[in-house]
Amino acid sequence: MLVGSGRLFQERGLGSEELSAVEGEFSNQGWTPVFVAVAGVPVGALAVVDEPREAAAESLQMLRAHGIEKIAMLTGDHAAAARAVAASLGIDDVRAELLPADKADAVTQLREKYGTLAMVGDGVNDAPALATADIGIAMGVAGSAAALETADVALMADELPKVAYAIRLSRATARNIRVNIAFSLALKGAFLVMAVLGLATLWMAVAADMGASLIVIANALRLLRE
C-alpha cells in the first residue's frame, strides 16, 4: 500500500490525468489531497483540511505588536490549502509543498533578505529549518524529539501566545541587565573618584557595594511581574 501526495505518486510512476483532476478539484476547495494505491494501482483519495491552531490569529497580532513585521508560513501542505489557512490568519508570504530541506533553504533565503530570523515548529520535518534559523523555537508538548533537540528554545506549553511572551520576557531581561550593569559601574566609578579625592572611607565603599547589590537584586525581581 502506498499513501501520499500527488508528487509522490508522480515520482512512483502512478500519476494520471484523473489523479491530476482530483488533485486540482481538492486544491480549489482549499483541501490537501492524499492518495492511496494498493498493489501499484490508485484506489482512492482523501481530503485533509488543516485548521489554524487555537489563538493563532491572536498570537500573530501580538507578534506584530512587538515589532515583528515579517511573518512567513513554511509548510509541506498543498499550496492551495496552505494559502487558505494563511489568508485566514493574514499571512501574505506562504511557501508550500516544502520538504524538510526546502524549509531550511527557505529559512536561509529569508535570513539573507530580512536579517535575524526565528523559526517556530513542532514536527520532525521542521528540525532542519529550526537548526538553520538564528533562533529555533519548538512547541514543547506537541513537538517531536528531533525538533526539541534542535531548537534553541522549547516552549513547555503548547500555546502559541507563549512565543510573544518569550520575546517580551527576553527583551525585558536584556533591558534589566543593561540597567543593572550601568548602575553598578556608575556607582563604583563614583566611589573610585571619591576615594582618590579622599572623600570616601572603606566602610562607605562597603556599604555602597552592599546597597548596590540589593538594588540590583530588587530590580531583577521586577522580571517576575512580566
Give the residue carrying C-alpha cell 538553520.
132
pTM of structure: 0.72
pLDDT range class, residue 183, cuts 50, 70, 90: very high
Give the residue carrying C-alpha cell 489523479.
19
The domains of the chain are located at 2-48, 56-165, 166-225
CATH of domain 56-165: 3.40.50.1000
203-226, pLDDT tens digit by residue?
888 888 888 899 999 999 999 887
Tell me what pLDDT residue 201 has.
Answer: 82
- 3-state per-residue secondary structure call for 84-150: HHHHHHCCCEEECCCCHHHHHHHHHHHHHHHCCCEEEECCHHHHHHHHHCCEEEEECCCCCHHHHHH
| Residue of 12 and 110 predicted with greater confidence | 110
Tell me what pLDDT residue 123 has.
Answer: 74
Mean pLDDT, the chain, whole residue set: 86
Using a pLDDT cut of 90, give the percent of the chain over it: 33
The answer to whether 27 and 45 have CB atoms below 8 angstroms apart is no
Mean pLDDT on 89-109: 92
pLDDT range class, residue 71, cuts 50, 70, 90: very high
Count of CB atoms situated within 10 Å of the CB of 27 = 19
